[in-house]
Amino acid sequence: APSIRLSPAARSLFDEPLAIAVQGLGPRQRVTLRTSLRDETGELFQASAHYQAGDDGELDLARCPALPGGSFSGLEPMGLLWALQPQKPFWRLIKRDVQSPFLLQLEVLEGHGERPGRLLAQAQHERAFLRDGVRRVPVREGRIRATLFLPP
């Protein structure tokens, strides 16, 4: 059965690279990968890309280019993250509470086209803004308003 392999596996910092691969596909199988997340207001952001697995049934986004027809095309290992677009026009992905992560959903769907086929595999990944152990200290001094982030 197909499965999604992420590195780092369950959690990464928002500005760190995320390696995405799919294993267990058929030789040269055509699939659509879709990512989605909801911002703090509940607004949905999505991106998708069309791929074709290698002869061995493996699909590594660092080596396999996205085919035309999705949110982007070409060799873009992080394309499924930077191409996230809101469902609501002119909405922006903004993080107000950096102490909670974004929860990224990844799906592998059969085939290409406007309406991809059945769900083959799915995974979740947290994109955090603070490394574990970092302390957030609000600063209020006169008219100065700031936030100090202290390492462990």
Backbone φ and ψ for 79, nearest 5 degrees, come out as: -55, -35
pLDDT recorded at residue 113: 75
Question: Is the whole-model pTM more than 0.75?
Answer: yes
Q: Are 101 and 126 in contact (CB under 8 A)?
A: yes
The predicted-structure confidence for 103-116, as pLDDT tens digits, reads as follows: 999 999 999 877 77
Mean of all residue pLDDT scores within the chain:
94
The predicted-structure confidence for 5-37, as pLDDT tens digits, reads as follows: 999 999 999 999 999 999 999 999 999 999 999
Structural domains in the chain, CATH included, are 3-150 (2.60.40.2240)
pLDDT recorded at residue 62: 96
Whether 117 shows a pLDDT value over 90: the answer reads no
